[in-house]
Amino acid sequence: MSTLVRRKLIRSNLYTSFNQSPQEVKIIKQKTFLLPQKVDDKLTIVFDLDETLIHTHVTSQNLSDDLITIEFQGKQYFVSVRPGARELLKSLAGKYELILFTASTEGYATQIINNLERDGQIFDYKLYCHNCKEKFGQLFKDVHKLGRDLDRVLIFDDSTIVWTTSENLFVCK
């Protein structure tokens, strides 16, 4: 099998089920994807949370004007929103399918997301550490598990090593 054909099969999540009937492939897909089947043709944009949209600190000194205070596991944290992040997200919401995919816990991330979405829903879907794959003690975000056409997915993250593929990844510094 050529590399190009193999890549196309992997992208469509059919490689592992190459010898399956169409009905079996459909059942496998339904069980393995993290999100429901997409019904529109909007481009999908995936955002990481920590160090991409926000920065979390233990003190409030010398932080940005856009500051969120959260409580997590009995401690107080100060979260500064990256300049322009709120405006960017608001401008993209509704025009694109927006997914937040973080390796953080849901309890921590939800407090921040609720603040980011205080003026209305921004993210169509939110995925957390329990949606990541774990290998050798490291969490990985598997873009294939989104069940989206990878030719129509953009990813914004501060790290390349947490993704199973980086073809669609734009690194935020």
Task: Enter the DSSP assignment of 46.
Answer: E
Q: What is the mean pLDDT of the chain?
A: 85
Q: Which of 40, 41, 48, 158 is catalytic?
A: 48
pLDDT at position 27, please? 53
| CB 17 within 8 Å of CB 110 | no
Q: Is 50 one of the annotated active-site residues of the chain?
A: yes
Active-site residue identified among 40, 41, 50, 157: 50
Rg (alpha carbons) of the chain, rounded to whole number = 18
Active site residue 157: no
pLDDT for the residue numbered 1? 46
Q: Is residue 16's pLDDT more than 80?
A: no
Buried b (16+ CB within 10 A) or exposed e, 140-156: ebebbbbbbebeebebb
Q: For 147-165, what is each residue's pLDDT tens digit?
A: 999 999 999 999 988 888 7
% of the chain surpassing 70 pLDDT = 81
Under the banding of pLDDT at 50, 70 and 90, the label for residue 7 is: very low
Domain 34-53+83-171 has CATH 3.40.50.1000: yes
Q: Where are the domains of the chain?
A: 1-32, 34-53+83-171
**Kind of pairing, strands 75-81 and 67-72?**
antiparallel
- Whether residue 98 contacts residue 124, with contact meaning beta carbons closer than 8 Å, is answered with yes
